[in-house]
């Protein structure tokens, strides 16, 4: 029995598009993915995004961001899925992970919504560690 992981699929699509120097990437939409992409924009990892309705689940159009447009050097150096369908990873408010000593971002699903590691620490909440971005 295979389990699909739509978040891991989205991160892989972004990673592959960045490696090829693409302008953007389109991924099937979900509320969780939109929240993750919103954090990626707020943290400066992507240029922008928009959600397009298509009478099904919708599509998230993500505009990727590069440090150097000519050499296509991506702002995102790494994307790693932490919690997987077969192995969920949780942290409590006292053990929130730090990505590269704060240089990256951990995205955590909490009782207060989808938050960055910094915001979760500020609010004093833990939750499921979805992914790391650096």
pLDDT one-digit tens code per residue, 72-81? 899 999 999 9
Q: How far apart are CA 121 and CA 52, in angstroms?
A: 33
* Residue 25 belongs to a domain: yes
- Please tell me the predicted confidence (pLDDT) of residue 1: 45
**What are the angstrom distances between the C-alpha of 38 and each of 43, 60, 68?**
9, 11, 22
* Residue 62 belongs to a domain: yes
Query: Is 67 exposed, middle or buried (CB count within 10 Å of its CB: 0-12, 13-18, 19+)?
Result: exposed
CATH number of the structural domain spanning residue 77: 3.30.1490.10
Residues contacting 74, CB < 8 A, separation 6+: 18, 64, 65, 66, 67
* Residue 19 belongs to a domain: yes
Whether residue 65 has pLDDT greater than 80: yes
- Please tell me the predicted confidence (pLDDT) of residue 2: 53
Q: How many CA atoms lie within 13 Å of 121's alpha carbon, on the beta-carbon side?
A: 12
* Residue 42 belongs to a domain: yes
In terms of residue numbers, what domain contains 122? 6-133
Q: Taking the complete model, does pTM exceed 0.85, yes or no?
A: yes
Whether residue 103 has pLDDT greater than 50: yes
Provide the domain count of the chain. Answer: 1
* Residue 79 belongs to a domain: yes
**What are the angstrom distances between the C-alpha of 83 and each of 20, 33, 42, 52, 109?**
26, 14, 22, 27, 10
- Please tell me the predicted confidence (pLDDT) of residue 133: 98
- Please tell me the predicted confidence (pLDDT) of residue 70: 84
* Residue 1 belongs to a domain: no
Between residues 3 and 54, the one the model is more confident about: 54
- Please tell me the predicted confidence (pLDDT) of residue 69: 75
Whether residue 8 has pLDDT greater than 80: yes
| Chain mean pLDDT for the chain | 95
- Please tell me the predicted confidence (pLDDT) of residue 68: 84
């Amino acid at each position: 029995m295979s389990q699909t992981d739509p978040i891991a699929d989205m991160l892989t699509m972004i990673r592959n598009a960045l490696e090829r120097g693409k302008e953007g990437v389109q991924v099937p939409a979900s509320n969780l993915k939109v929240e993750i992409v919103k954090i990626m924009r707020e943290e400066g990892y992507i240029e922008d995004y928009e959600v397009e309705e298509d009478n099904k689940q919708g599509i998230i159009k993500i505009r990727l961001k590069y440090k150097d447009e000519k050499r296509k050097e991506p702002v995102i150096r790494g994307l790693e899925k932490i919690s997987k369908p077969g192995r969920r990873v949780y942290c409590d408010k006292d053990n929130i992970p730090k990505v590269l000593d704060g240089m990256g971002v951990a995205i955590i699903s909490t009782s207060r919504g989808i938050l960055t590691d910094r915001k979760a620490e500020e609010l004093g909440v833990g939750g499921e560690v979805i992914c790391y971005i650096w």
